[in-house]
Amino acid sequence: MTDIQAPAVRTNQTDPAVAAPAQIKMTARDVNVFYGANHAIKDVSIDVDMENVTAFIGPSGCGKSTFLRTLNRMNDTISIAKVTGDITLDGEDIYSSDMDVVQLRARVGMVFQKPNPFPKSIYENVAYGPRIHGLAPARRDMDQIVESALRRAGLWEEVKDRLSDSGTALSGGQQQRLCIARAIAVDPEVILMDEPCSALDPIATAKIEELIHALRGKYAIVIVTHNMQQAARVSQKTAFFHLGHLVEYGETSEIFTNPRQERTKDYITGRYG
């Protein structure tokens, strides 16, 4: 709580290219996902670090987004989806019956491929999460949370004079940063980003990438991207998915310069994709 009310964006001093010493936040062991008869994810095991940005890359349809959505159980909304295996958050099994999916999603936030602000005011977009979770007992606390989340998302200066305007009236890049602010506002531990820049222009993309840098270390961040340059720019760890398998997982610099698997190398050198 105290952290989130810090007024300024804290810039990360560590070298973005080097992975920090790992403190494991989420683990997945032997995860399989089925969509009806379709076996979408096959025996994936992976650890997500607190300190690093983890990128999931791979050709489209490889299952990287599907796997991302198992990490906060967004697959629950699809009735035919079935998940087996263990996924833990700080050692707690997130698929156990004790885990409440609503509380889980408050801890593991998500940013989607297309910016999807609510058709409400900018203020209401950010305030919605804290309100349903009861994070702000008084109106003043809420103002503070909204301001701090918008600052962290690098949007405050652009919107502070028009907080009551509709969130859908912003530009695409601003909308996506608003969605990030919305995710930050509930004070999550992990933020999942599902191709957050695929609908944006290069300038807006650069801003989001800067933002990811700034947020590193504060939250465990997992980003799915089809853009390998982006993965190389923003992440310290990279996982390569292909046909539902996790082919290779390691330090980003290693994966891009010295992949161990033949398939990874083919993908990175652009032989298919």
Q: What gap in Å lies between CA 224 and CA 28, rounded to an integer?
A: 16
Select from 94, 55, 36 the least CA-distant residue to 241: 55
Q: What gap in Å lies between CA 199 and CA 171, rounded to an integer?
A: 11
Q: What gap in Å lies between CA 230 and CA 57, rounded to an integer?
A: 10
Which residue lies nearer to other proteins by CB, 110 or 211?
A: 110
Q: What gap in Å lies between CA 10 and CA 83, rounded to an integer?
A: 37
Cβ atoms of 264 and 255 closer than 8 Å: yes
Minimum CB separation of residue 182 from other proteins in Å reads: 6
Q: What gap in Å lies between CA 231 and CA 48, rounded to an integer?
A: 15
Minimum CB separation of residue 127 from other proteins in Å reads: 11
Q: How many beta carbons lie within 10 A of that of residue 258, not counting itself?
A: 11
Which residue lies nearer to other proteins by CB, 89 or 185?
A: 185
Which residue lies nearer to other proteins by CB, 15 or 100?
A: 100
Which residue lies nearer to other proteins by CB, 60 or 77?
A: 77
Minimum CB separation of residue 105 from other proteins in Å reads: 4
Minimum CB separation of residue 124 from other proteins in Å reads: 10
Interacting residues with other proteins (CB under 8 A): 72, 74, 77, 79, 100, 102-106, 109-112, 114, 116-119, 128-129, 132-134, 168, 179, 182-183, 185-186
Three-state DSSP state, 241: strand
Which residue lies nearer to other proteins by CB, 43 or 119?
A: 119
Minimum CB separation of residue 179 from other proteins in Å reads: 7
In terms of Cβ atoms closer than 10 Å to its own Cβ (0-12, 13-18, 19+), residue 99 is middle
